[in-house]
Amino acid sequence: MVQRVSVNDASLPHPPLWFWIIFHIIVIILIIVDVLALEHEDRDPTFKETLTMVLVWISVGVAFGLYILYIYGVLPALLYYTAYAIEYSLSMDNMFVFYAIFGYFGVKYRYQHKVLLIGILSAAFFRAAFILGGIMLIKSIHWTIIIFGIILIISGIKLSTRRGEEEVNPEKNPIVRAARKFLPITPRYHGSHFLVRENGILRFTPLIIVLLAIETTDIVFAVDSVPAVLAVTTDFFLAYTSNLLAVLGLRALYMLIVLLIRQLKYINVGLGILLAFLGVKMIASFFGYEIPVFLSLGIVMAILALSFIISLLASIIESKKTTQSIS
């Protein structure tokens, strides 16, 4: 019988070692397929190629949820899908910041995917560490759940009240400044290479600066996304797998976000409300008030759906007004 899993009680049995081996082998195979499908030195990946990989990653995420449903039951599957949807949705807003960073450094689109690949792989590692650390904190010092909840509420307010495009200045990043000061860096890019040899001396290309900017920015994003997942479940198996499968599909999602994010003008409001809701949910659980999983999932999906629909309608209305003013 599947036991009830909540923020206060992570009780799924630990999967055996063979499961983790097979799971990560499948993940590695999918990453290789992703690289083969999207990495082209002489051209940009096409919309069809990118959309195909987005659908592949989403299909894998959905299929894994069905596996959880079959092995553990309905409640753990709902928790997994909720955590997956939250991480994937929050990442959509983060992708626009990555887009702004690439634009700031003038990185050609065909070379951005290599930086994103390394950045996302390391992001998966850091998120696993943050999730494990967060779960250990909540279990050992239970009142820290209130701190996580407050972080989510504050992040939600900041995100929902943000107006216009977020200003991105990677040169203010202390890691980027330190790299420029201490690393031997070439004055120009050399394709997708991070290291080149000039006059017999091994030097980094400016692409390493871009990678550091992406990496450190993603660690900051994890301050929002990891507590959001832990607001849904503190079971490591559910939190880790949902986070990993959502994060690894972001490289393919990036191209679509570049095309769509400017039109989704209210998506940040929806994501802000979502973070605030999860923060309240987390704090309420500390005091013994648990929101049913079905209701929680319904609220999450409703917030995301409404923000998308309102954004698209606003974009259509704005486009019509622009057309009428021109004519």
pLDDT reading at 7 higher than 60? no
The better pLDDT of the pair 17, 145 is held by 17
Mean pLDDT of 272-296: 75
Instruction: With CA atoms as reference, report the closest residue to 267 among 213, 313, 230.
Output: 313
Average pLDDT, the chain: 77
The whole-angstrom distance between residue 112's C-alpha and the CA centroid of its chain comes to 17
Helix residue spans in the chain (DSSP H): 17-38, 47-72, 74-105, 109-140, 144-160, 174-182, 207-230, 236-248, 250-260, 267-286, 293-326
Buried/exposed 298-321: b ≥16 CB within 10 Å, e otherwise: ebbeebbeebbebbbeebeeeeee
Q: pLDDT value at position 190? A: 78
Mean pLDDT of 31-42: 78
* Cα 277 to Cα 226: distance, rounded to the nearest angstrom: 15
Mean pLDDT of 206-210: 83
Q: pLDDT value at position 3? A: 41
- Phi (first) and psi of residue 318, to 5 degrees: -65, -40
Q: pLDDT value at position 63? A: 95
DSSP, collapsed to helix, strand or coil, labels residue 195 as strand
- Counted residue by residue, the chain has a size of 327
Does the pTM exceed 0.75? no
Contact 228, 86 (CB under 8 A): yes
Confidence of residue 5 (pLDDT cuts 50, 70, 90): very low
Mean pLDDT of 203-220: 81
Contact 170, 101 (CB under 8 A): yes
* Cα 80 to Cα 6: distance, rounded to the nearest angstrom: 12
Neighbours of 104 (CB within 10 A): 14
The better pLDDT of the pair 55, 287 is held by 55
Torsion of CA 138, 144, 145, 151, to 10 degrees: -130
Residue boundaries of the structural domains of the chain: 17-319
Q: What's the CA angle centered on 175, arms 169 and 178, to 5 degrees?
A: 105
* Cα 197 to Cα 192: distance, rounded to the nearest angstrom: 14
Neighbours of 197 (CB within 10 A): 8
The better pLDDT of the pair 24, 311 is held by 24
Confidence of residue 4 (pLDDT cuts 50, 70, 90): very low
pLDDT reading at 67 higher than 90? yes
* Cα 276 to Cα 265: distance, rounded to the nearest angstrom: 19
Strand partners, 197: 202
Instruction: With CA atoms as reference, report the closest residue to 194 among 208, 183, 184, 213.
Output: 208
Per-residue pLDDT of 102-158, as tens digits, reads 877 778 777 787 888 888 888 788 888 888 887 777 667 666 667 767 766 776 777
Q: pLDDT value at position 120? A: 81
Per-residue pLDDT of 165-191, as tens digits, reads 555 555 565 666 777 777 787 777 777
HSE of 221 in the Cβ direction (CA atoms, 13 Å)? 25
